[in-house]
Structure 1
Amino acid sequence: MSSSLFNITIEQQYQGLLERIVLSFLSTGPACFFLIINGILMFSLRSKPVFRYTCRYILLYNLLVADTAQLVVTQVLFLLAVGRVRITYAVCGTITTMANLTAGISPLILVIMSLERYVAVCYPLRHASIITIKNTVLAIIAAWAVSSLNNVTRNLFLIEYSYEKFGKVLMEDYCTDVGWIPNSLCDDYDRAYNAVVFVSAGLTVISSYTGVVIAAKSASTDKASALKARKTLLLHLVQLVLSLSYTFYYPLLLALATTVRRIVFVWVQDVIYVLFIVLPRCLTSLIYGLRDQTIRPVLLRHLFCRSKLSVEPVTS
């Protein structure tokens, strides 16, 4: 009897270990693949002066940095959860704060990129004087400052808790943003902040698109440039929705945790993670790397180690 019970226990432990290994592989495989693509694209954007000194590519580089950092941090959190690794509140807080910081950058950078396209089409003669490297850097700094201020505000909800707990005590469960700040007021704040960002960013992109459409009807506007800008702005809108999709990740998990069995939940969690976290962080490299005529030859050369290709200067 005891021998049979022992065998069943060992089998259950083996199945649990095998399940965690499979889940880790299914999430880590796509994440690593796209991290490589993102890394090659970032290297490509630093390999030519045309990329280093063109404002739209400076913005794209920063967007890729934020998305790549976000993917790395969330992958670490996911592997900790799958491996059922418990860490201290302080370590968890550091990781989740970095995840929130990088996640908040993407929609703000997309807004700046949309405004840059709007100025390029609607005010082509003033584009060079408005969209300068200095102004672009200031806009990027402002985006990081807004996201940092948001995280500082979120962490103020920890004032009511004992500081000794966060440095030494292990978390009761695996590290999540919800577990790090167990405060309902913080949840309300997050929903309000995300709603403001989404609405503001969405209105900015839609307004830019409308302005480009109106400008395209003008006889003095370059029709090809206006059409390209319209497509780019539509892609920015799609990217904006995808970049904010992470806000649905934990609410979906909480809803599923109470309605499905654990064995189903862990597999659905992996699918949701890939769809809402991994995929949105990777579409930027795919969209720009393959669509942009200036980036594509350089990216393909670095991907496939081809012979050196020339790159033509970019035009607005």
Structure 2
Amino acid sequence: MSYPNQSQTLNVTGQQHQGLLERVLFTTLIGMPCCVFLFINGIMLFTLRSKPVFRETSRYILLYNLLFADTAQLAFSQLLYIIAACRIMLTYPVCGVLIIFTKLTNDISPLTLVVMSLERYVAVCYPLRHATIITVRNTGVAIAVVWAISLINICIRVLLLLNFPFKDLESLVMTDVCSDLQMVLEPISDHYDKAYTYFLFLSATVVIIASYAGVMVAARSASTDKASAHKARNTLLLHLVQLVLSLFSTMHSSIVQSLSTIVPRLSIVRIKSVFYVVVYILPRCLSSLIYGLRDQTIRPVLLYHLCCRLTLSRPSKG
């Protein structure tokens, strides 16, 4: 029973010194942009299913999977933030279910970025074979593998969690607000979580950097489309930035936990709010902003749906 106490995030304790007005202000300032981006992501998801060209192109199918995971992650994170802000104490089973869905969607994003990077590598380095390698069927298999890896990781986490003797607890109601650290009840779960996270992001980083290097080498070839190579290079750099931000979102709880030993409790609450905006909300909105504005095929359709399908008509000349 000592390990859960070592992983306290000081959410509730810190908020006991945080005034009601400040909590309402923080919740409003964070909740409003979150709702806006959830709306934009929802429109983007609808856009990617609105035309056959999006449904039948591997690049857009992968983008839909990435955006779906990011939107679900943003929704679950916002729900957990509201629960923490309202000081609602959940039971371990309910918190466990919420954390499982949060972890699942969080793992899918970096894996999907890896597949998208490989797709861009094939498009530039093997343009003549791209249509035969990157098919809709193969893309579906790749997405299925991504989800399978994430589900296997979740199953292992659940098995490790079930080893904890919940029957020895006086009550299943948690003593602190629901968070991922509160569900790490034994050292072995913590070790597995860190090992999996480091392996996942290290592997993803190596693949993206290798794809970037391959595109750079191919760009020097006289037979390579320079414009296509340049665009693919920029896309891979954006994937790397998204991966780094996703890594921060996975490790931010550990960072806050380390700061809690040297920083006042009220400051920890404020730092967690800032981290939440930077490492949770921002990365989950990048996909819509990057692809919605950069892609010439998506942009007009997205703007059309964002404007509620209103079209501006030129006044007729009298």
Please indicate, yes or no, whether the TM-score normalized by the shorter chain is above 0.5.
yes
Aligned pairs (5 A) from 1:235-314: 235-307=238-310
Instruction: Give the Cα–Cα distance (whole angstroms) in 2 for the partners of residues 82 and 51 of structure 1.
Output: 39
Q: Which of the numbers 131, 137, 142 marks the counterpart of 2:140? A: 137
Residue ranges of structure 1 left out of the alignment (5+ in a row): 1-11, 310-316
Matched, 1:75 2:87: no
Matched, 1:43 2:46: yes
Matched, 1:54 2:57: yes
1:207 is matched by which residue type in structure 2? A
Name the residue aligned to 2:233. 230
Instruction: Give the Cα–Cα distance (whole angstroms) in 1 for the partners of residues 130 and 212 of structure 2.
Output: 17
Q: Which of the numbers 84, 96, 99 marks the counterpart of 1:96? A: 99
Q: Which of the numbers 127, 130, 138 marks the counterpart of 1:127? A: 130
Instruction: Give the Cα–Cα distance (whole angstroms) in 2 for the partners of residues 286 and 240 of structure 1.
Output: 16
Q: TM-score normalized by structure 2? A: 0.89
Shift in Å, 1:216: 1.3
Instruction: Report 1 or 2 for greater relative contact order, CA contacts < 8 Å, sequence distance ≥ 6.
Output: 2
Number of aligned residue pairs: give it: 298
1:222 is matched by which residue type in structure 2? D
- Report if the CA contact (8 A) 1:67-1:102 is conserved: yes
Name the residue aligned to 1:159. 162
Which secondary structure does the structure 1 equivalent of 2:19 belong to? helix
Deviations 1:217-276 (A, max 9, x none): 222111111111111111111111112221222112212322222332222211111111
Instruction: Give the Cα–Cα distance (whole angstroms) in 1 for the partners of residues 165 and 90 of structure 2.
Output: 17
Instruction: Give the Cα–Cα distance (whole angstroms) in 1 for the partners of residues 219 and 264 of structure 2.
Output: 54
Deviations 1:147-175 (A, max 9, x none): 11111112222233235579x71111111
1:76 is matched by which residue type in structure 2? L
Which secondary structure does the structure 2 equivalent of 1:219 belong to? coil
Instruction: Give the Cα–Cα distance (whole angstroms) in 2 for the partners of residues 182 and 134 of structure 1.
Output: 41
Which secondary structure does the structure 1 equivalent of 2:181 belong to? helix
Query: Root-mean-square deviation (CA), in Å?
Result: 2.1
Instruction: Give the Cα–Cα distance (whole angstroms) in 2 for the partners of residues 64 and 260 of structure 1.
Output: 36
Instruction: Give the Cα–Cα distance (whole angstroms) in 1 for the partners of residues 267 and 202 of structure 2.
Output: 34
Residue ranges of structure 2 left out of the alignment (5+ in a row): 1-14, 313-318
The percent of aligned pairs where both chains have the same amino acid is 57
Shift in Å, 1:13: 8.8
Instruction: Give the Cα–Cα distance (whole angstroms) in 1 for the partners of residues 271 and 18 of structure 2.
Output: 17
